[in-house]
Chain A
Amino acid sequence: MKISGWLFDIYPNKVNGLTLWLIGDDGQRYCLQHEFAVRFYAAGPSAQLRALWKFLEGREEPVKLSRTERRDIYMGKITVLACEVANPAAMRDLFQQASQAFPDLTYYDADIHLALRYAAVTGVFPLARCEVETLGNRVQSIQPIDTRWELDPIAPPMRTLSLEPDDDPSCRTPKGIIFQYERYSYRLDLEPARPVLVNLRAILERFDPDLILTNHGDTWLIPWLASKIKELGIPIPVNRDPGYEILTHKEHTYFSYGRIVYRGQQSQFFGRWHLDKQNTMLWSDYGLDGALEMARVTCLPVQEAARLSPGSGISAMQFVTAMQTGILIPWRKAQAEKPKTALELIRADMGGMVYQPTIGLHENVIGIDFVSMYPGIMVHFNISPEVQRSGIALEPSTDEPGIVPQTLEPLLKKRIAYKSALFDMPKWDDRREKYKARSSAEKWLLVTCFGYLGYKNARFGRIESHEAVTAYGREALLRAKEAAEKLGYEILHMYVDGIWVKKAAKPDADDIRKLLEDVADRTGLPIALDGMYRWVAFLPSQVSAKVPVANRYFGVFQDGSTKVRGIEARRRDTAPLLSKTQMGILEILAEASDVGAIRKVMPEVDRFIDSKVRALRDGRVPLEDLVMRQRLSRELEAYRTPSPAARAAQQLAGVGKTMRAGQSIRFIITRGKPGVHAWDLPTEVDRKSIDVQRYQALLYRAIGTVLDAVVPLEKPPDLFDLPARIEIPIKNDLMAVC
């Protein structure tokens, strides 16, 4: 039988090969089995390999052993022992036994996700359109009929059931659950649970959704469901594939990229998707499209792609490229750095070029950006762990592209294609949102690829490559500076991949084009206009007005839109009151057509500030706008002097809510001790206890950040009734939060 449709789910079959779920063009959901053997490899001294051979032969799991040659990325062709199992589900245990019995051998292709292996061999990736020949429910052959790089992929028609608790479980225990599917939408009480389960079962059986979309599903709803199913003994076909339990990953905290990251519990289904809106990549901006694009491009199944941690997306893509090109994927990264002299280390160990900005207000500023600079550098100059290089030649490489550029190139191309398409696309074109979503997925992956290149555990990472990228980046930025200065521009600020310049006379379209061309010419990298600003204010540090701070500015473009970086308004841990006030002031300032006109809008700014300050003093600011956020940097017990977040977490612990290191704690600042009231406590904070003085000080400081830059302090004092700077002692720990 011939079926055509979309690959919906893929996982190891319990008996043999793997299980595929397809959404057919005919509207049917197919559950198919495909024979798919998987292999791992071992290299090392022949005597040990012979012993490993005997060991594997003696295992219960049937294996096919052979001696063969494969390519190690650094060593070239090497002899390896190949161990093939027909049952991918058994690979993990078998490999664990082998690696424990023979720990000194070098292993490859040992812990690769099945979906990646499948995609490398068949070309069929999650959400791919494909044509399948079946015999009964067994796949005889499968062909992809589109690619991961398709700009307008046709999405499968999907049935979605939405389940939401009627309250945020992190604040209050929900009392009901809201069901939504087709045109039905209704609420059921959580207790008694029996009708909820029975109702759910009926929906699953009759409506048979492909996607169960939840809110707080990973952390609360699905675990609740699972426990009720157990308690009441009512079987619910949550998985379309009977005989499987809901797959739950426990919560854990890990150290990554210099920070503590908290990974909450996750629940995944078999044959059906569970996506939690709180835990789905790019959901709040783009809904489902971002997550679907992630799956498509990384070859990871949607449930996993939606919940990616940094690095795993790029890592998955590199693995696919490696398998496609016959390169072995090492199980453990062991490649060490080649020695450098101390002098060479001083020259190499630098980050991106960051030029201190010229503090102050500037008019007619041009902002130009290198497009995806680091990935662009990796692709154009062939930066890859296995590619030898000496020095920096800013010419495109003619060598065979290494694994890193090979992996990145189609991704970069796709992002650029979406960006250019969006540039010209009319606002009413309904492809806009989808393109933006997919382009964001690409951007997220591209942003992580540079960090991943230098990551100590990245299989294809290498510190020398990482350093080469920053070296190219610095060189490119300096050449761009030279190009701009030659054309008579003054450099205001440079930040890794962006430059701000200005000229005495206002530049026109031709001037801009010439600048971009010259820079592209001198550097070999694509560069684009970020925008032409009416004015930009580069801000000093909060500690000293003379110390410039990188990437801390706000400005208004020619079209009246604003751009803000590095101030309270942009930080996720600030109280919304502060960011709203700053953005409000900026929006009023943006009405001024140029710097001279700013004076005209100042009265409106004053009125705005006045209203905000009064609202705070009178207790009329909505409580949500006063909520501060801070991460717990360690476990509660590890604090010697608890930070505000820790004190709030202690309060939550007092009512039975344990917060882990890496989690974000929300609280309101109160007077006296303990000085905070955790936002997620069952009792609401008493307005009278809120530390209005402190919020006022923070508010003035936020206002000062914006106004001090834009309005010179020599202005006559009758323009405001606020002093220019308020000296109210702010405790150091709150300083860190704000």
Chain B
Amino acid sequence: MFYAGGMDMLLDLRPGKWGLLVLPRSMRSQVLNGLGRIAEHGPLLVLDGGNSFNAYTVSRAVRGRPEVLERIRVSRAFTCYQMVSLLEEVPATTTPTVCLDFFSTFFDESLPARERQRLLESCLPHFSRLGKTAGLMVVVSPPKMILPETTAFLDILQNAAGNIWAAEFPTPTPEPLRLF
């Protein structure tokens, strides 16, 4: 279990290698609280790949102060193509960036896994680029249902990441009882 203080440490964004944070979905609000606290000290760019940027949660973490909320810029991606587009368009500035729920758009089953993997891999050079200039943290929460791509995609990210932090995951739910 991470304490709020711990989350601050993890979301310590500094230019250099980019970081990968692997967390269960249940820890989402702690991440958002952490984003709020980062914004108390300076600007922040959030790329939301899982429709999870609950601005109210962040707002509560900073007691609703508008000057803090205005320092956080958010762009949402709803498809993996949009995610790639977002990363391509982020200029290399000194604004630290957090990529929230990066995996979500890449588990859209309507696209073949091969294509999604290609797109995922095309994000990596942008991660390095943004990590070098400003500091980048990529937060992923693997989906509950374990798909074949899950391990492959996680491996790709873990091999490319500069630093990796992974939280304790709750024990997997038992297989549903089958009738026949």
Contacts and interface: CB of A to CB of B under 8 A. Distances in A.
A and B touching (C-beta < 8 Å)? yes
Interface of A: 103-104, 254, 332-343, 345-346, 349, 456-457, 463, 636-640, 650, 653
Given A333-B81, A338-B75, A340-B73, A637 B89 contact: no
Interface string B85-122: 11001000000000000000000001000010010001
Given A334-B81, A334-B82, A342 B176 contact: no
A276 to B, nearest CB: 25
A332 B53 contact: no
Given A334-B82, A336-B82, A456-B79, A341 B69 contact: yes
A457 B80 CA distance: 11
Interface string B114-150: 0100100010000000000000000000000000000
B176 A638 contact: yes
B69 A342 contact: yes
A336 B55 contact: no
Contacts of A335: 82, 85
B176 A637 contact: yes
A332 B80 CA distance: 10
A65 B109 CA distance: 34
Which 3 residue pairs are nearest across A and B when measured between Cβ atoms?
A456-B78, A339-B73, A342-B69
Nearest to A331: B81
A336 B85 contact: yes
B99 to A, nearest CB: 13
B79 A639 contact: no
Interface residues of B, number: 34
A334 B53 contact: no
B81 A332 contact: yes
A339 B28 CA distance: 21
B29 interface: no
15 contacts: A103-B118, A104-B122, A334-B84, A336-B75, A336-B89, A342-B53, A342-B58, A342-B70, A343-B55, A343-B69, A343-B70, A346-B69, A456-B78, A456-B79, A456-B82
B123 to A, nearest CB: 13
Given A336-B75, A637-B176, A638-B176, 11 more contacts: A334-B85, A336-B83, A340-B74, A342-B58, A343-B70, A345-B53, A346-B55, A346-B59, A636-B179, A650-B179, A653-B180
Contacts of B164: none
B45 interface: yes
B169 interface: no
B25 interface: no
Contacts of B74: 339-342, 345
Contact of B55 (A104, A337, A345, A636): A345
Interface of B: 39, 45, 53, 55-56, 58-59, 66, 69-79, 81-86, 89, 110, 115, 118, 122, 176, 178-180
A341 B73 contact: yes
A654 to B, nearest CB: 9
A254 B110 contact: yes
Contact of B77 (A337, A338, A638, A639): A337
B53 to A, nearest CB: 7
Contact of B75 (A339, A343, A637): A339
B176 A103 contact: no
A338 B158 CA distance: 29
Contacts of B122: 104
A103 B78 CA distance: 20
Contacts of A653: 179-180
A417 B121 CA distance: 53
Contacts of A343: 55, 66, 69-70
A349 B59 CA distance: 15
Contacts of B45: 339
A337 B76 contact: yes
Contacts of B39: 342
A345 B53 CA distance: 9
A636 B180 CA distance: 11
Contacts of B58: 342
- Among A333, A339, A638, max chain B CB count under 10 A is at A339
B79 A342 contact: no
Contacts of B66: 343
Contacts of A349: 55
A638 B110 CA distance: 20
A454 to B, nearest CB: 9
Given A341-B73, A342-B58, A346-B55, A333 B82 contact: yes
Contact of B79 (A104, A341, A457, A638): A457
A336 B53 CA distance: 16
B146 to A, nearest CB: 13
B115 A103 contact: yes
A342 B85 contact: no
Contacts of A342: 39, 53, 55, 58-59, 69-70, 72, 74
A333 B81 CA distance: 7
A635 to B, nearest CB: 10
A336 B77 contact: yes
A332 B83 CA distance: 12
